[in-house]
Structure 1
Amino acid sequence: MLHPVGPLPAAVYWRRRLAVLVALLVLLGGLGWLLLSLVPGSGSSGPAASPTTAAAPAEPPALERVVPAVSGVRTPGTTAPPSAPPAPAGPTPGGSCTDEMLGLEVRTPGTAAVGAKPTFELVVVNTSPVPCVRTLDKQLQELVMVDAAGARVWGSNDCFPESSSDQRTLAPGEPVVFPVRWGGLTSEPTCTAERVTPSPGDYVLRGRLDTKVSGDAPLTIG
């Protein structure tokens, strides 16, 4: 085998043997490639998956099952504005008149002579839009006079207090007027001090209905 015998030169026989060897290797390589291509899943050149096989639904990644979606998370810039608080309820028709629902005013003649006995008025008015009920008893009403220095000069309940039972339904805007006549003399709550005629000058009167207090009304005595 290693020493070819024939009429041709030895190189010819070696070339022939080499060609046969190469052909044999090519044949073996082709057979091996064919066998590998027939094995399922052996590469991208294998048969395609059956078209009738339905694709399994993709399961969400584990992170999405734990962490909420970004669209469901409120950021400081997208925080919804707070809802407006409910409007406060208005006054109930036929309920009690609170101080905030009433107007209270004192009316004077403006001037009075020394020793005169003018009549003042305490005016109560329902300033709310609905009728309401208020107790207007005499013992709950009071007028007080003070001088320019703020000293108390006279009070309507000092010496001749009155009492009554007077509960009324006040219509919206309708005034109720209570006249009070002044005797022209000073007084104090116990009515034990000497009562004298006030000196000429400027004074103010203030009214009260239980816990509701009026503004000042001027009075000049001269």
Structure 2
Amino acid sequence: MLHPVGPLPAAVYWRRRLLALGCAVGVLGGGGWLGAALASGSPDGDATVAAPSNDAARTTPGLEQVVPSLAAVQVPTAAPSSAPATSEAPAAEVPAGPTAGGPCGDDALGVEVRPDPASAPVGSKPTFQLVVTNVSPAACVRAVDAALQEIILIDGAGDRVWGSNDCFPETTVEQRTLQPGETVGFPVPWSGLTSEPGCAAGRTNPPAGTYVLRGRLDTKVSPDATFTLT
């Protein structure tokens, strides 16, 4: 066996033996692998790969075939408003007036001085009127004490010449209920002489000329009124 005999060279017989031996080893190895596979199941486990069906093999439809085009979808629009558009600004809020029967604030009152007559001779003793009006839409109450009423006389240079409370202030206490639009007049006499607060300075007749009368009821001040001494 180890020394082949034949007409061919010895190397040829060795190659044949090696080839036969390799085939035998391959057959034995394949048989062993097949036996192990049968004993333990499929080498890939029990999972099997299903062949693709005809439906899966079909081409997936494009997105535009599944979702309709946005241009083809009708979007509902809001119905046009029947109310006409306006650019007018909201009305400004009107300040609330006094409560009916409550106190009259300064905003609820109008105060003015009425010189009657509008002129008087130097040294005369005219009487002026302090007029108070409820300009609010509701009745209200206001203190009209004599000490709260005052009229002053101012010359052309802006200097105070006389004041009704300088020398003979009154101390009456009074409240008035003023109806809407109601006007009340309070007479204020003038001696025709100059004065200062407290009446400490000497008193004289102011000269002829044009003066200004300014009145007040407590904190509510009137506009100026013109008065002439002749």
**TM-score computed with the length of structure 1 as normaliser:** 0.61
Q: Secondary structure at the match of 1:37?
A: coil
Matching residue of 2:220: 212
**Unaligned stretches of 5+ residues in structure 1:** 4-8, 39-44, 47-86
- Structure 1 residue 99 corresponds to structure 2 residue 77: no
Assess, with a 3 A threshold, how the Cα gap between structure 1 residues 30 and 180 changes in structure 2: closer, same or farther. farther
**How far 1:97 sits from its partner (Å)?**
1.8
Q: CA separation in 1, counterparts of 2:99 and 2:43?
A: 98
Which stretch shows the higher mean deviation, 202-211 or 114-123? 114-123
- Structure 1 residue 137 corresponds to structure 2 residue 145: yes
* Count of residues in correspondence between the two structures: 169
Assess, with a 3 A threshold, how the Cα gap between structure 1 residues 33 and 172 changes in structure 2: closer, same or farther. farther
Assess, with a 3 A threshold, how the Cα gap between structure 1 residues 25 and 112 changes in structure 2: closer, same or farther. same
Matching residue of 2:32: 24
Q: Does structure 1 retain, via aligned residues, the 8 Å contact 2:37–2:43?
A: no
Matching residue of 2:180: 172
Poorly superposed stretches of 4+, deviation over 6 Å? none
Q: CA separation in 2, counterparts of 1:212 and 1:197?
A: 29
**How far 1:141 sits from its partner (Å)?**
0.9
In our comparison, the structure showing a higher alpha carbon Rg is 2
Q: CA separation in 2, counterparts of 1:28 and 1:94?
A: 115
Q: CA separation in 1, counterparts of 2:109 and 2:98?
A: 12
Give runs of aligned pairs for residues 40-51 of structure 1, distance below 5 A: 45=47
- Residue 97 of structure 1 aligns with an amino acid whose one-letter code is C
Q: Secondary structure at the match of 1:215?
A: coil
Measured on the aligned residues, the alpha-carbon RMSD in Å equals: 3.2
**How far 1:117 sits from its partner (Å)?**
3.2
Q: CA separation in 1, counterparts of 2:20 and 2:198?
A: 158
Matching residue of 2:130: 122
Which stretch shows the higher mean deviation, 185-194 or 208-217? 185-194
- Residue 186 of structure 1 aligns with an amino acid whose one-letter code is T
Q: CA separation in 2, counterparts of 1:124 and 1:193?
A: 31
**How far 1:30 sits from its partner (Å)?**
6.0
| 1:171-203 superposed Cα distances (whole Å, 9 cap, x missing partner) | 233222112232322233444544332101121
Q: Does structure 1 retain, via aligned residues, the 8 Å contact 2:120–2:228?
A: yes
Q: Secondary structure at the match of 2:184?
A: strand
Q: 2:170 aligns with which of 162, 165, 168?
A: 162
Which stretch shows the higher mean deviation, 196-205 or 125-134? 125-134
- Residue 195 of structure 1 aligns with an amino acid whose one-letter code is R
Assess, with a 3 A threshold, how the Cα gap between structure 1 residues 14 and 35 changes in structure 2: closer, same or farther. closer
Identity of matched residues, %: 51
- Residue 98 of structure 2 aligns with an amino acid whose one-letter code is P
**Unaligned stretches of 5+ residues in structure 2:** 3-15, 49-93
**How far 1:90 sits from its partner (Å)?**
5.7
Assess, with a 3 A threshold, how the Cα gap between structure 1 residues 157 and 213 changes in structure 2: closer, same or farther. same
Q: CA separation in 1, counterparts of 2:95 and 2:28?
A: 108
